[in-house]
Amino acid sequence: MGRMNDFEAPTTVLYTDESGRQDERLVFTGRGAEYFRIWIVNLLLTVATIGIYSAWAKVRRMRYIYGSTHLGQNSFDYHGSPTAILRGRIVALLFFAAYNISWSVSSFAGVLMLVVLAGLMPWLIWKSLQFKLYNSSYRGIRFSCGGRIGRVYFLYLLLPLLSVCTLHLLTPLTHQRMKKFQHEESRFGATYFTFHAGPGAFYKAYAAALAVGVCGAGLIALAFAGMFDEMSAAGGLKQAGGAVQMKFLLFVTINYLWLYLLFNIFGTQIQNLIWNRTRLGGHQFRCDLKPATTAWLTVTNLAGVLLTLGLYLPFAQIRMLRYKIEAITFIPAGSLDGFIETTQGIVSAAGEGAYDMLDFDLSL
Amino acid sequence: MQVSAFYFDGRTSRRHEVTLQLVGTDVVLTGEIERRYPLKTADLSEASMGATRRMRFPDGACLEILDNAGFGRMLEGGGHQDSALVRIYQSWRATALALAAAVALLFAVHRFGVPVLSAQLAQAVPATLEQRVGRDTLAMLDSGPFSPSELPAGRQAEIVRRFRSLSLPSGNDMAARIIFRNSRAGPNAFALPAGQIVVTDQLVAGLESDDELMAVIAHELGHLAERHLLQRLIHTTLTGAAMTLLFGDVSALAANLPTVLLDLRHSRDNELAADDYALRVLRLNGMSPAALASALHRLHALQMTKDQGPSMPDYLSTHPGLAMRIARLPPH
């Protein structure tokens, strides 16, 4: 057995009580049917309580998903408190209402509100990340996320603004910097994660997605060339008549579907990139999501949801979650026993609630 | 009886194999470590097919149960039962009932709850605050498709005089004024919350009689009387928040699309309510209710010739098709 020295934190001290530890692929044991029941009852209770139950619903959902995600023989746990989440959501609702109304009062009020929200957003994102990580644990040890507020504002306000000003040429760089920050400030117990992907890898991924996207859009436009001819012959869309208008609607719909598909596939490519280049102490990760499988899952899920008027939704979510989670493999450099906990302050939940309201997804 | 589990002390990630027993009111752990906790301080997760069953202890330690079946039997033997809520989550029949109830409730909220709440909240907003809403709209339009009216001053005065002489169902305490504009966008009339009713020269020219003009103006008064713009604002806010809450964890589009569609639906309902108000005004002032119908006919004809084709389908439009509105009015 190894010996652990408390004063050696934050580096991991590795046990070597087992030789030849093999790679562990994450396993997801969540079931669509069970998640469906959770989803339906959550929906009813949320509506019946005018949204108040939504915080408890979220905790139930998170605990189910975390508890169904296994690494080795153990699963993850979620500790978020429903009252904390509820408080956060109420704050978010007030902001949402104030923003909506401000534009109608005057343009000045609207712009002012926008500036205020933009100013708060980086802090909210950061606090939400901290809340989520602190309330996640594995084998009794909690995750956490640090960081300095100056860096947060640089990454989540300044860089995105610059990015917009440069016609999004800086977006891959911004994305890389954000992920680097998130991962390198995150810890499991006392052990920091490290991030080893540079901006170049992100630029490649974005460029590939852009190229594929443009090619696809071009092919779609080509397929509809006849419709465009009819439109210009008639002198406009309204003049061209009902049949052409239906074709145009189809054209727009197919473009949206293509965009949706591309977005999902791009997301999985980024997930691969991020996990392949993330380490925890000496341990590594591998992620092998495939574009073809992702495309298949996306399309069949969408079809299922539409055909069942939404009832298939929880099944679709579980299906996609399973694929995304089980694509990750943990490559240990030694025993998993050697992580130690650090004392950690409680992170406020205003961040997490607000984030839910505004529907960002900060999954790593 | 004994159940096997993994124990984590919350200080290191080291895993301990233990067996647990219920002894009296305590949970007793034996094996690689020895512990004893009062059962009522332990946070027990519910039974699940997919997720690990666990116990969380106040000192930060936790257990992951390995033998779920055995653990279930042990709890039953000790007289512990899952709460009613948990049993609902686990039962297919209860879930089916919950689905039906959820759909019914959502429908009721959408159809009755939100519109009624929007109307109530709109009434509660003080008039001065409401007047600020939409203040910029006229200025924006003036720098866009609107230019000063080319209607002769005498004609404008005549219309205003006629308007002021109308008796209104809600009393004459509404501070409404008529404003004339020349519009590149064709015949139009709309109301601003500050009490202005904007009428375009093209509308005046396009209608046959002053009765028809008064009918259209009365429709706009209906919007003002029932504070529709404010209601719509509240409605979209409430619906947007509700949609994000319900579907936000799925996708932003799923949350926003229903909001837009419901807003359009609510707008259409408001338009029909304004039509009803206009009819009341016409009757109150001894004018033929047919004036509204013929005004709408004429506007429909003008729209058809302008676009040279059918307009957008109903559910995508804020105004129910003119044809539908005309069909709704009482026959003359």
Interface of B with A in 147-176 (CB under 8 A): none
* 3-state class (DSSP) for residue A69: strand
Tell me whether residue A149 is exposed, middle or buried, using C-beta atoms within 10 angstroms of its C-beta: 0 to 12, 13 to 18, 19 or more: exposed
pLDDT band at A13 (very low <50, low <70, confident <90, very high): very low
Strand partners, B3: B20
Q: Of the ranges B104-113, B160-169, B203-212, B228-237, which one carries the lowest mean pLDDT score?
A: B228-237
- Neighboring chain B residues of A322 at a CB cutoff of 8 Å: none
pLDDT at residue B121 above 50? yes
Shortest CA gap B97–chain A (Å): 9
Say if B64 is an interface residue toward chain A (CB within 8 Å).
yes
Residue numbers in B near A97 (CB within 8 A): 237, 241
Query: Under an 8 A CB cutoff, do A77 and B56 touch?
Result: yes
Interface test with B, best of A40, A244, A305 (most B CBs within 10 A): A40
**CA A339/CA A189 separation, integer angstroms:** 6
Size of interface A-B (CB pairs under 8 A): 163
Per-residue pLDDT at A194 exceeds 60: yes
Residue A360 has what pLDDT? 33
Average pLDDT over residues B145-168: 88
Answer yes or no: is pLDDT of B98 > 50.
Answer: yes
Nearest CA among B233, B112, B246 for reference residue A51: B246
User: Chain B window 209-248: which residues touch A at a Cβ cutoff of 8 Å?
Assistant: 233, 236-237, 240-242, 244-246, 248
Lowest mean pLDDT among A138-147, A204-213, A311-320, B115-124: B115-124
Reply yes or no on whether the pLDDT at B95 is more than 90: no
- Substitution target in B11, B12, B32 with the highest count of A β-carbons within 10 Å is B12
pLDDT over 70 (residue A10): no
Residues A237-257, mean pLDDT to the nearest whole number:
83
The pLDDT of residue A201: 95
**Angle CA A128–A133–A137, to nearest 5:** 150
Confidence class of residue B251 from pLDDT cuts 50, 70 and 90?
low
| Least trusted range by pLDDT, from A65-79, A116-130, B135-149 | B135-149
Instruction: Give B245's pLDDT tier (boundaries 50, 70, 90).
Output: low
Q: Mean pLDDT, to the nearest integer, of B259-274? A: 77
Interface contact flag, B95 A40, Cβ < 8 Å: yes
Token representation of residue B24: 């009296």
Q: Given CA atoms A286, A292, A298, A301 in this order, what sign does their dihedral have? A: negative
Rounded distance between C-alpha atoms, residue A341 and residue A190, angstroms: 6
Distance of CA A319 to the CA centre of its chain: 16
The amino acid present at B127, given as its one-letter code, is A
Q: Report whether A148 contacts A329 (CB < 8 A).
A: no
Decide: helix, strand or coil at residue A142: strand
At A333-346, the pLDDT tens digits run 887 777 777 654 44
Q: Pick the catalytic residue from B46, B130, B212, B220.
A: B220
B105 interfacial to chain A (CB closer than 8 Å) = yes
Q: Which among A110-119, A229-238, B178-187 has the top mean pLDDT?
A: A110-119
Where does the pLDDT of residue A6 fall: very low under 50, low under 70, confident under 90, or very high at 90 and above?
Answer: very low
Closest residue on chain B to A237 (Cα): B309
Smallest Cβ–Cβ distance between A356 and the set B49, B54, B248 belongs to B248
Say what percent of chain B tops pLDDT 90: 11
DSSP summary character for residue A21: P
Cβ contacts (< 8 Å) between A47 and chain B: which residues?
102, 105-106, 109, 246
Summarize pLDDT for A251-284 with one digit per residue, the tens: 999 999 999 999 999 999 999 999 999 999 889 9
Residue type, A178: M
pLDDT at A188 over 50: yes
User: Could B60 and A140 be called an inter-chain contact, meaning their C-beta atoms sit closer than 8 Å?
Assistant: yes
Confirm or reject contact between A317 and chain B (CB < 8 A): yes
pLDDT of residue A243: 80
Query: Using a CB-CB distance cutoff of 8 angstroms, which residues of chain A are in contact with residue B309?
Result: 238-239, 241
What is the identity of the amino acid at A161?
Answer: L
**Nearest-angstrom CA–CA distance, A312 and B17:** 40
- What is the SS3 string spanning chain B? CCEEEEEECCCECCCEEEEEEEECCEEEEEECCCEEEEHHHCEECCCCCCCCCEEECCCCCEEEECCHHHHHHHHHHCCCCCCHHHHHHHCHHHHHHHHHHHHHHHHHHHHHHHHHHHHHHHHHCCHHHHHHCCHHHHHHHHCCCEEECCCCHHHHHHHHHHHHCCCCCCCCCCCCEEEEEEECCCCCEEECCCCEEEEEHHHHHHCCCHHHHHHHHHHHHHHHHCCHHHHHHHHHHHHHHHHHHHHCCCCHHHHHHHHHHHHHHHHHHHHHHHHHHHHHHHHHCCCCCHHHHHHHHHHHHHHHHHHCCCCCCHHHCCCCCHHHHHHHCCCC
Q: 3-state class of A36 per DSSP?
A: helix
Lowest-pLDDT range, A163-177, B56-70, B131-145, B274-288? B131-145
What is the percentage of chain A residues whose pLDDT exceeds 70? Answer: 88
Residue B123's CB is within 10 A of a number of other CB atoms, namely: 11
Answer yes or no: do B8 and A140 touch at CB < 8 A.
yes
- Cβ neighbour number for residue A208 with a 10 Å cutoff: 12
Please state, in angstroms and rounded to a whole number, the distance separating the CA atoms of residues A235 and A256: 25
- Tell me what the mean pLDDT of segment B258-271 comes to: 74
More confident residue, A343 or B261: B261
**What pLDDT sits at residue B320?**
64
| Amino acid letter, residue A60 | R
Instruction: Note whether A138 contacts B: Cβ–Cβ < 8 A.
Output: yes
For all residues of chain A together, what is the average pLDDT?
A: 84
Structure tokens that stand for B158 in this block: 């005549």
Task: Give B211→chain A minimum CA distance, Å.
Answer: 33
Tens of pLDDT, residues B267-302: 778 888 888 888 888 888 888 888 888 888 887 777
Active site residue B226: no
Provide the shortest C-alpha distance from residue B30 to chain A (in Å).
18
**Residue A149, phi then psi, degrees to nearest 5:** -65, -30
Is the pLDDT reported for residue B23 higher than 90? no
Here the tokens at position A262 are 């591309």
Query: Which of A324-328, B44-48, B66-70 has the highest average model confidence (pLDDT)?
Result: A324-328
Among A34, A28, A56, smallest CA distance to A44 is for A56
Residue A10, preceding bond cis, omega within 30 degrees? yes
Task: Give the closest of B13, B134, B248 to A336, CB-based.
Answer: B13
* CA gap B120, A102 in Å, rounded: 20
d(CA A74, CA B53): 11
* Euclidean distance between CA atoms A42 and A56, whole angstroms: 8
Of A68, A26, A39, whose CA–CA distance to B50 is shortest? A68
Q: Is the pLDDT of residue B173 over 70?
A: no
Q: Which element (helix H / strand E) includes A337?
A: none
Q: Tell me whether B305 touches chain A (CB under 8 Å).
A: no
pLDDT at site A16: 34
B252 pLDDT band, cuts 50/70/90, is low
* Closest approach of B51 to chain A, Cα-based (Å): 4
Answer whether 0.90 is exceeded by the pTM: no
Residue B318 reports pLDDT greater than 60:
no
Output the six-digit token pair for A190: 């006392």
Among B4, B9, B13, B33, most A C-beta atoms within 10 A, so best to mutate, is B13
Cα distance between residue A297 and residue B82, in whole Å? 36
CA distance A42 to A61: 9
Q: Of A165, A257, A272, give the one whose Cα is nearest residue A213.
A: A257
Q: Looking at the predicted structure, is the pLDDT value of residue A303 above 90?
A: yes
Of the listed ranges A342-346, B116-120, B183-187, the one predicted with least confidence? A342-346
Judged by CB atoms closer than 8 Å, whether chains meet at A41 and B252 is answered as: no
Residue A158 is given by DSSP the state I
* SS3 call for A310: coil
Q: Which one is predicted more confidently, A86 or A212?
A: A212
| pLDDT at residue A288 tops 90 | yes
- How far CA A181 is from CA of A149, A156, A185, in Å, comes to 12, 11, 6
pLDDT higher at A351 or B55: B55
Strand arrangement, sheet containing B146-148:
B146-148, B177-183, B196-200, B189-191
Q: Which residue's structure tokens are 């997720």?
A: B51
* CB proximity A43 to B under 8 Å: yes
**Is B22 a residue whose pLDDT tops 70?**
yes
Give A131 to chain B, closest Cα distance, Å: 17
If DSSP codes are grouped into helix, strand and coil, which group holds residue A280? Answer: strand
Q: In what order do the strands lie in the sheet with B3-8?
A: B35-38, B26-31, B16-23, B3-8, B62-65, B54-56, B43-44
> Which of B13, B64, B91 is nearest residue A337 as measured by Cβ atoms?
B13
- What six digits make up the tokens of A39? 């989803």
Nearest to A40 among B10, B64, B102 (CB): B102
> Which of the four pLDDT bands, split at 50, 70 and 90, describes residue B308?
very low
What integer is the mean pLDDT of B139-167? 86
Q: Is A6 on the interface with B (CB under 8 A)?
A: no
Give the burial string for B172-205 (b: 16+ CB within 10 Å, else e): eeeebebebbebeeebbbbbbbbebbbbbbbbbe
Pairwise CA distance, residues B179 & B160, whole Å: 9
**Dist. CA B11–CA A6, nearest whole Å:** 11
pLDDT at B1: 81
Q: What's the average model confidence in pLDDT over B59-72? A: 90
